[in-house]
Amino acid sequence: MKILVLGAGATGGYFGGRLAQAATAGKTDVEVTFLVRPARAEALRAKGLQVQSPHGDFSLPVRTVLHTELKPEYDLVLLSCKAYDLESSILAIYPAVGPETLILPVLNGLAHYERLDAEFGVGRVLGGCCHMAGNLTPEGVVRQMTELHRITFGLREGNAPHARRVLTQLEAAYKQTPVEPRFPEKVLQDIWEKYVMLTALASTNCLMRATVGDLQAADEGQAIALRALAECEAAATHAGYPSRPKAAETTAKMLTTKGSTFHASMLRDLESGARTEGQHIVADMLKRSRAAGTEATVLSLAWAHLQARDARLARETKA
């Protein structure tokens, strides 16, 4: 099976890199190629793909390809971009999509599915998400920050008949790596549960400019965190995917743990002046929560905070 991974940053570099590592060791015959820009391709040729992980560091040479060199020869495209890069990513992978090519997006949230379905057809676009905290260091090293590294994928209604076979092969390949693969029958349930968790976390982190533990040190911290969770959960329930008891309990505990330094990467992006996925995550959940009949007070304040920060940056840049 030939897999094209869009980019070799934190997410694509890690999950694609683990497959490449297994293939190099002869544990799987999956062929992994990274679609990268010229500078990243040159760096990978010079130093290889470098990964630092609690599950073992590794460095290895990897296949790379530039956009201009793509051919429609891949069985699967792993789409791991940030939501604000979705349009450019669609253009980037287009030449790689052949008659049987499937696309596995592991972006946060749900809004990207409508766009991908419109561009490539629902038959090609699988369901997926991942859990992994990581970043790409200035030196080009993929750094996994915690032990969690799970990738979830599954079939969506309307997917092509051969999709199950391809995902079965993908699951088998990941079982030869340290990564935890999940291939549930109802992948949207898993996607919604992550979406609820992430949005409740990111909205409260960004609104308060604080970690979980910092917010829990406030008198109303727990109430605010649980209110955000309830607003997100209302949207999930309205869509037909209420969180399962274990997931709901885990998320509530994670959001209310005193002393926790846990926080969403959106907070780091916000405070560094970088672009955020606020539109794709917080604003989209706000719309869905209101459609479920809630006032969505925390979500609306969080989205206003993100928008106000962007407006201020734009004004100060012009000045």
Average pLDDT (35-49) is 96
Among candidate residues 108, 189, 130, 180, the one with its CA nearest the CA of residue 155: 189
The pLDDT mean for the chain works out to 96
Residue 211 has pLDDT above 90, yes or no: yes
Helix boundaries (H) for 2-67? 10-24, 38-47
Q: How confident is the model at residue 310 (pLDDT cuts 50, 70, 90)?
A: very high
pLDDT reading at 237 higher than 90: yes
Residue 319: the pLDDT is 73
State whether 180 and 308 are in the same domain: no
pLDDT above 70 coverage of the chain, percent: 100
What is residue 136's predicted lDDT score, i.e. its pLDDT? 93
Determine the pLDDT at residue 318. Answer: 86
C-alpha pair distances (Å), 225 with each of 56, 217, 230: 35, 12, 9
Cα 160 to its chain centre, rounded Å, is: 23
Task: Choose one of 126, 161, 185: the last residue of a domain.
Answer: 185
Based on the fold, state whether residues 235 and 152 are members of the same structural domain: no
Q: List C-alpha distances in Å: 291 to 108, 227, 287.
A: 20, 17, 6
- pLDDT, one tens digit per residue, over 7-19 is 999 999 999 999 9
Q: CA 226 to CA 252: how far, in whole Å?
A: 7
Are 90 and 210 within one domain?
Answer: no
Last residue of a domain, one of 128, 160, 185: 185
Task: Tell me: do 31 and 157 sit in the same domain.
Answer: yes
Do 99 and 111 belong to one domain? yes
pLDDT the model gives residue 84:
95
Are residues 14 and 148 located together in one domain of the fold? yes
Among the residues of 70-211, which ranges form H helices? 86-93, 112-120, 163-174, 187-208
- Both 167 and 143 in a single domain? yes
Tens of pLDDT, residue by residue over 48-74, are 999 999 999 999 999 999 999 999 999
CATH of residue 228's domain is 1.10.1040.10
Average pLDDT over residues 260-280: 95
pTM of the model: 0.95
Out of 185, 210, 243, pick the residue that ends a domain.
185
Q: How far apart are CA 183 and CA 172, in angstroms?
A: 10
Residue 181, strand partner residues:
151
Residue 160 structure tokens: 């092509």
For 241, how many CA atoms within 13 A lie in the half-sphere containing its CB?
Answer: 19
What is the distance between the alpha carbons of residues 188 and 71, in angstroms, rounded to a whole number?
31
Q: How many domains does the chain have?
A: 2
- Rounded to whole angstroms, the Cα distance separating 182 from 164 reads 13
User: How many Å apart are CA 160 and CA 46, to the nearest integer?
Assistant: 39
Distance, in Å, from the CA atom of 78 to the CA atom of 84, rounded to the nearest integer, reads 17
* Residue range 163-176: mean pLDDT, rounded: 98
pLDDT interval class at 129 (50, 70, 90): very high
pLDDT at 266 over 80: yes
What is the predicted pLDDT for the residue at 221? 98
Q: Are residues 107 and 230 in the same domain?
A: no
The predicted pLDDT at position 29 comes to 94
- Print the domain residue range for 29: 2-185
Judgement on whether residues 24 and 75 belong to the same structural domain of the protein: yes
